């Protein structure tokens, strides 16, 4: 039992960081030439790009490589080396996918993975972007011998996809070693075409826009495309706004003001979510190019006020794929 005359042992003072003055446990830092320093103040450089990161960040250690540099190196290892073969049962559908890509960009960088094929392209004006992923289960046959990239001319490939029938299937062989892309169209006969690939010497796979969407509207694609055709007589751009009951599309031209109102419960409007404070204006020409009624029965729009729109397609023929487009808003400047 401790008596009143006995003194409790004095607790040792915690070390203070010479840089920030923070007092913390000694094992959360280390002794440096400048003195004791906490892990937040100790900076460690990525061995590839030289960017500094605090030692306290997970995974940071001497000789580490940042995630951005790791991904760049991974892509470089894959580049020019794709070797794969596939069979797509519906050549007409494959042609529709190519035409959708070609409407945005003439050349496409295709990433071939064990899970499927990714094509992500942006138009030269940087207004529209496609994010098409065709899952391997939507192919009749799909074999990847070596993951990698295929960079090709969409326009050139489409030249050789003619006289397709409903029963025409397409076989593809990607040979990154020889720089060749061979397609074979099979129905009552076989037609083989071997095309050169382009040099993969520019650009990585584009990043997906990070947007917090506040509004979501789901429509019947064919009917809505017909309505967009009608609105084109009023203006070359339209505004979207929606709440939990109504979806409004407006087109204001020099002579005509047009408004389409869709109410929940109508056959064309399948779903609507929004607070009403989400008006955004988009190019009608780009909208018509990005909405692919030939690929999808149902179209979903997601957007926020004056922000890019996400356009998602849903198709029974592409159940394991993702057919998505992004469209930048038209910024209206007040006089």
Residues 6+ apart with CB under 8 A from 27: none
Q: pLDDT tens across 69-120, in order?
A: 887 776 665 555 689 999 999 999 999 999 999 999 999 999 999 999 999 9
The second-level CATH assignment, the architecture, of 215-327 is Roll (3.10)
Domains 79-196 and 215-327 in one fold: no
What local confidence, expressed as pLDDT, does residue 10 receive? Answer: 65
Phi first, then psi: give them for residue 125, nearest 5 degrees: -85, -5
- Is residue 186 very low, low, confident or very high in pLDDT (cuts 50, 70, 90)? very high
- Is residue 15 very low, low, confident or very high in pLDDT (cuts 50, 70, 90)? confident
- Is residue 205 very low, low, confident or very high in pLDDT (cuts 50, 70, 90)? confident
What local confidence, expressed as pLDDT, does residue 203 receive? Answer: 53
| Contact predicate 40/24, CB 8 Å | no
Inform me whether the pLDDT recorded for 334 exceeds 60. Answer: no
Mean pLDDT of 275-286: 95
Domain boundaries along the sequence of the chain:
26-75, 79-196, 215-327
Inform me whether the pLDDT recorded for 62 exceeds 90. Answer: no
Mean pLDDT of 249-261: 94
**Which run of H or of E encompasses 230?**
helix 221-231
CA–CA dist 108, 98 (Å, integer): 10
What local confidence, expressed as pLDDT, does residue 57 receive? Answer: 82
What local confidence, expressed as pLDDT, does residue 335 receive? Answer: 41
Q: Say which residue, 229 or 61, is predicted with more confidence.
A: 229
CA–CA dist 148, 174 (Å, integer): 10
Mean pLDDT of 23-43: 79
* pTM of the full structure: 0.74
What local confidence, expressed as pLDDT, does residue 4 receive? Answer: 53
What is the phi-psi region of residue 21: left when phi exceeds 0, alpha when psi lies from -120 to 50, beta otherwise?
Answer: left
Q: pLDDT tens across 129-146, in order?
A: 999 999 999 999 999 999
Inform me whether the pLDDT recorded for 204 exceeds 70. Answer: no
Q: Helix, strand, or coil here: 157?
A: helix
Total Cβ atoms within 10 A of residue 28: 15
Residues 6+ apart with CB under 8 A from 105: 121, 122, 123, 124, 130, 154
Mean pLDDT of 265-283: 95
Q: What is the CATH class of 79-196?
A: alpha beta
């Amino acid at each position: 039992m401790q008596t009143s005359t006995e003194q409790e042992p004095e607790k040792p003072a915690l070390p203070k960081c010479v840089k920030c003055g923070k007092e913390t446990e000694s094992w959360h830092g280390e002794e440096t030439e400048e003195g004791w320093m906490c892990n937040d103040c100790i900076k460690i450089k990525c061995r590839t790009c030289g960017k500094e990161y605090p030692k306290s960040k997970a995974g940071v250690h001497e000789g580490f490589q940042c995630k951005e540099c790791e991904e760049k190196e991974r892509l470089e290892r894959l580049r020019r080396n794709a070797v794969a073969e596939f069979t797509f049962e519906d050549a007409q559908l494959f042609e529709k996918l190519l035409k959708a890509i070609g409407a945005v960009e003439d050349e496409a960088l295709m990433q071939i993975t064990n899970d499927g094929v990714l094509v992500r392209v942006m138009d030269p004006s940087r207004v529209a972007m496609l994010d098409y992923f065709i899952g391997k289960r939507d192919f009749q046959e799909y074999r990847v011998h070596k993951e990698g990239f295929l960079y090709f001319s969409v326009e050139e490939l489409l030249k050789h996809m003619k006289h397709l029938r409903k029963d025409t299937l397409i076989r593809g062989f990607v040979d990154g070693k020889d720089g060749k892309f061979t397609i074979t169209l099979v129905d009552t006969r076989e037609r083989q075409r071997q095309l050169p690939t382009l040099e993969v010497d520019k650009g990585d796979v584009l990043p997906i826009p990070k947007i917090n969407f506040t509004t979501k509207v789901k429509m019947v694609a064919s009917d809505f495309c017909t309505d967009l055709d009608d609105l084109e007589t009023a203006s070359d751009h339209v505004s979207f706004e929606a709440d939990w009951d109504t979806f409004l599309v407006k087109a204001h031209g020099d002579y005509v003001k047009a408004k389409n109102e869709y109410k929940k419960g109508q056959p064309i409007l399948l779903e609507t979510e929004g607070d009403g404070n989400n008006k955004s204006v988009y190019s009608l020409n780009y909208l018509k190019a990005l909405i692919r009624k030939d690929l999808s029965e149902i179209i979903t729009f997601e957007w926020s006020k004056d922000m890019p729109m996400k356009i998602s397609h849903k198709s029974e023929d592409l159940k394991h794929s993702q057919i998505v487009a992004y469209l930048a808003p038209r910024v209206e400047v007040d006089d």
